[in-house]
């Protein structure tokens, strides 16, 4: 393989996740992007390309062709600007493509981000309908399965095969709500108890209200540069591993629905590229759109043996002070999940952690972090490994 240049992140920006009734995705992204530019202390005129993730803007905002739209509002009208759509992994995929554009020598400075406007006056049903575009329309959605039902099916299979319990699912939610209390940009700032989670109204059994991530608005952005410019910045955070995998878009096409094989493939690629193992990771931001998804993620990433992720949560190993801190930001579950922004938002959290700037949620001594971003029920997945 051709020798790749080193790539680093030198600027980060994020909005508060939650309800932004007076803002659309463009206003949200401008806010995050300008924060990233300011954080990097660069001249915007030096940005050579924009890589932008957005999943459902075509439906919920009736706005496609978002790449040039976002570039123009930032004063970057003439640069190449690309929108990426890979369901909830849209900006994770955008970041990976931007990484290779820089690593290959084509660009030196790029802006990468994502945004989603999901809270509308039309309500939950329309958002659910839009998100279902990331599943198999013919064999799943037309049969009545939306994402809560798909992940409930996955949860039931995992419980039957490995003995995972509803209490363990609840522990994921309790942990992430507690972590979000220290994240000023999180959608929820409310701690919950195991009893709260177990007694909440059912959404799709065994998943209850607190097992499901919220509908959120928000945006996130990063400035990425080649090693050529590392010495101009005090704390460039290097991307040392990048992986991506795919799988059947529908659950019926998979041999084992208790595993997200696309993420396992992405993780193997990223670990090999970075020259590290799961034991070297100091913290991880994983795609916990539902509590069962966090458990499966920790298994697929090699932090626990397959089938033992629930046990790991129960034993406290994924707490902020545990063996492998997971979702200290609050995760999608409590930080929020504006789907097009999520992949880059995970990376923003890691950069803050690796810089030592995460405040009360700081993981002591963190040097290597991992971001795990999944699209749909696992048809797409990216894994990125960052190092201070």
Question: Before 206, cis peptide (omega within 30)?
Answer: yes
Give me the catalytic one of 158, 177, 287, 337.
337
Task: Answer yes or no: 88 catalytic.
Answer: yes
Q: β-strands 283-285, 202-204: how paired?
A: unpaired
Phi, psi of 191 (to 5 degrees): -75, 150
Spatial distance between the Cα atoms of 147 and 143, rounded to a whole number of angstroms: 12
Give me the catalytic one of 88, 212, 213, 289.
88
Q: β-strands 81-84, 368-375: how paired?
A: unpaired
Phi, psi of 7 (to 5 degrees): -130, 135
* H-helix segments, the chain: 25-40, 57-60, 66-73, 90-103, 124-131, 147-162, 166-180, 194-199, 261-274, 291-300, 309-314, 331-334, 342-355
Among the listed residues 362, 344, 345, 343, the one whose alpha carbon sits nearest the alpha carbon of residue 354: 362
Spatial distance between the Cα atoms of 121 and 110, rounded to a whole number of angstroms: 35
Cβ neighbours around 265 below 10 Å, total: 18
Residue 247, CA distances (Å) to 69, 88, 94, 251, 266 in order:
31, 15, 18, 9, 11
First to last CA, the chain: 25
Phi, psi of 24 (to 5 degrees): -100, -175
Say if residues 112 and 95 touch (Cβ distance below 8 Å).
yes
Phi, psi of 104 (to 5 degrees): -80, -15
Catalytic residue positions?
88, 337
């Amino acid at each position: 393989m051709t020798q790749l240049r080193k790539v680093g992140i030198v600027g980060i920006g994020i909005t508060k996740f939650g309800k932004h009734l007076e803002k659309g995705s463009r206003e949200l992204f401008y806010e995050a992007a300008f924060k990233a530019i300011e954080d990097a202390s660069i001249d915007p005129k030096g940005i050579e390309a924009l890589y932008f993730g957005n999943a459902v803007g075509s439906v919920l905002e009736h706005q496609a062709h978002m790449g040039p739209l976002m570039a123009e509002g930032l004063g970057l009208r003439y640069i190449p600007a690309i929108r990426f759509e890979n369901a909830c992994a849209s900006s994770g995929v955008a970041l990976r493509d931007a990484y290779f554009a820089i690593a290959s020598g084509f660009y030196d400075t790029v802006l990468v981000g994502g945004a989603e406007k999901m809270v509308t006056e039309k309500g939950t049903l329309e958002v659910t309908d839009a998100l279902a575009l990331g599943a198999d329309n013919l064999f799943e959605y037309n049969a009545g399965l939306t994402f809560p039902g798909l992940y409930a099916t996955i949860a039931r299979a995992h419980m039957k095969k490995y003995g995972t319990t509803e209490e363990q699912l609840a522990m994921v939610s309790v942990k992430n709500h507690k972590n979000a209390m220290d994240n000023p940009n999180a959608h929820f700032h409310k701690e919950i108890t195991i009893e709260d989670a177990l007694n909440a109204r059912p959404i799709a059994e065994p998943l209850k209200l607190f097992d499901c991530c919220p509908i959120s608005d928000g945006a996130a952005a990063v400035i990425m540069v080649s090693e050529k410019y590392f010495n101009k910045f005090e704390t460039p955070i290097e991307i040392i591993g990048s992986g991506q995998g795919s799988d059947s878009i529908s659950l019926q096409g998979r041999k084992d629905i208790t595993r997200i094989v696309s993420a396992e493939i992405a993780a193997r690629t990223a670990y090999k590229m970075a020259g590290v193992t799961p034991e070297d990771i100091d913290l991880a931001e994983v795609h916990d759109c539902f509590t069962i998804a966090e458990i499966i993620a920790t298994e697929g990433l090699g932090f626990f043996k397959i089938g033992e992720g629930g046990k790991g949560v129960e034993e406290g190993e994924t707490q902020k002070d545990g063996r492998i801190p997971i979702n200290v930001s609050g995760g999608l579950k409590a930080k929020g999940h504006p789907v097009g922004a999520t992949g880059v938002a995970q990376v923003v959290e890691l950069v803050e952690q690796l810089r030592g700037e995460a405040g009360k949620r700081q993981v002591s001594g963190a040097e290597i972090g991992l971001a795990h971003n999944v699209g749909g029920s696992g048809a797409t997945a990216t894994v990125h490994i960052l190092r201070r």
